[in-house]
Amino acid sequence: MKQTTATIPADCMRAFRLAGALIGLTVTLGACQHAADDSLAYVNAPNDYRQRHPIAVTEADRSIVVFVGRGRGGLTAEQRAEVMGMAQDWLREGTGVVSIDVPADTPNARAAQDSLREIRATFAAAGVPPHGVVVRKYRPQDPRHMAAIRVNYPKISAVAGPCGLWPEDLGPSIHNGSYFENKPYYNFGCANQRNLAAMVADPADILQPRAETPAYIPRRNIAFDKYRKGTSTATTYPEAEKAKLSDTGK
């Protein structure tokens, strides 16, 4: 029995070669894209989230916005308290001058000037020197938005992030080596670091401990005097008996 061999037309062979070339090109570009994404964040990322998302101490602006209407200037009670609180905070943490941006050539420009005078008077009452306040005029780009007075000053702040970067899949994937190596995903711990940086009262505490306060010498002398006499140096609390639980039922 004679065997016959089917032949593939030349056009089909060229189509198969073209399809294979396109598939190879797609795989290559996908690998390059994946490698580029990894190089952004995850390739050499440490496992410790504190090193992967470090808290940095830098200078940032603290600002408030004072809204001003068209027909009435001055400050409301809430705005006055907010401006006073900002002035007191500047005395404690400010690292530069206070900048006050006032709208110009707007329907509420005249009312904004009245509010500006009260803001400057509030800062002066809080102890901010006149040379510590700089007034600048600005024109809003969008006339539909209410032109407001912006007050800001620089301060030392702690920052972390940005968060929300996902350079790798969370699930198993041929491109996700961290899943099979049991490593934490890249974004793990970022929110915790960012919240900690926002809550810390003094950013310097992140880098170094605070200096100890001097010892209370009068109390220390009393303890030393008891020690030299051989008496107990323990403190006696007269109210301690009142805090005991009842002996009923023992």
Supply the pLDDT for residue 181: 74
Judged against a pLDDT cut of 90, whether residue 111 lies above it is answered with yes
In angstroms, the CA 233 to CA 228 distance is 10
Supply the pLDDT for residue 23: 62
- Let me know if residue 44 belongs to a domain: no
In angstroms, the CA 55 to CA 19 distance is 50
Degrees (nearest 5) of the Cα angle 122, 127, 129? 95
Domain extent at residue 143: 56-156
Judged against a pLDDT cut of 80, whether residue 65 lies above it is answered with yes
- Let me know if residue 230 belongs to a domain: no
Q: How far is CA 29 from CA 21, 125, 175, in A?
A: 12, 65, 14
Q: Worst-scoring range by mean pLDDT, 41-45, 83-87, 161-165, 227-231?
A: 41-45
Share of the chain above pLDDT 90, in %: 41
pLDDT band at 185 (very low <50, low <70, confident <90, very high): confident
- Let me know if residue 67 belongs to a domain: yes
Number of domains in the chain: 1
77-93 vs 109-126: helix crossing angle, rounded to 10: 50
Domain containing residue 145: CATH number: 3.30.1330.60
**Of 30-44, 140-154, 186-200, which has the strongest mean pLDDT?**
186-200
Taking Cα atoms as reference points, which of 197, 153, 163 lies closest to residue 57? Answer: 197
Each residue of 18-29: pLDDT tens digit? Answer: 666 666 555 454
- Let me know if residue 237 belongs to a domain: no
Q: Three-class SS of residue 58?
A: strand
Q: Worst-scoring range by mean pLDDT, 17-21, 87-91, 111-115, 169-173?
A: 17-21
Which residues are CB-contacts of 194 (< 8 A; sequence separation ≥ 6)?
Answer: 53, 159, 160, 161, 163
- Let me know if residue 24 belongs to a domain: no
Which residues are CB-contacts of 56 (< 8 A; sequence separation ≥ 6)?
Answer: 158, 159, 160
